[in-house]
Amino acid sequence: MKRAVELRSKERELHMQLPTHLQPLLKEKKLLLWKEILLDPEYPDAKVVDEICHGFPLTGWAQQSNVSQTRVRPPENSLDQLEGMARGLNMAVVTALESSEWLPIGDIAWQETMQEVANGWLAKEPMPDFDNQS
């Protein structure tokens, strides 16, 4: 705890430099302390904290972790192909959701999702109105 207090001002500086979309997600995280904890025993993937601070890319090649075994597989689709397929895939998911039965577990999942939104862990975007779509 003492080290966390010592790093408090540097943590604030780091958090102000984070990409805007990551600031609410990482606001309570002691990132510099976490990095020190990983560096002390010479953990082979201490750079993971830097990657968290910049955000992980959703496409392209993942950085090698030096911890997990590497099994390189080339992507099956290019980014352009994925962008072209996105609308159809999204519509397929919506159609599948519309035709599926709502189970009690869905209420629990919805409540947990709304709690994550309230905590600032998820962005609240307008949801499609499934009941009034033609």
State the number of CA atoms in the 13 A half-sphere of 118 facing the CB.
6
Global pTM reads: 0.55
Ramachandran angles phi, psi of 118, nearest 5° = -60, -35
With CA atoms as reference, report the closest residue to 52 among 79, 30, 69: 30
- For residues 67 and 89, the model is more confident at 89
pLDDT band at 119 (very low <50, low <70, confident <90, very high): confident
73 pLDDT more than 90: no
pLDDT band at 61 (very low <50, low <70, confident <90, very high): confident
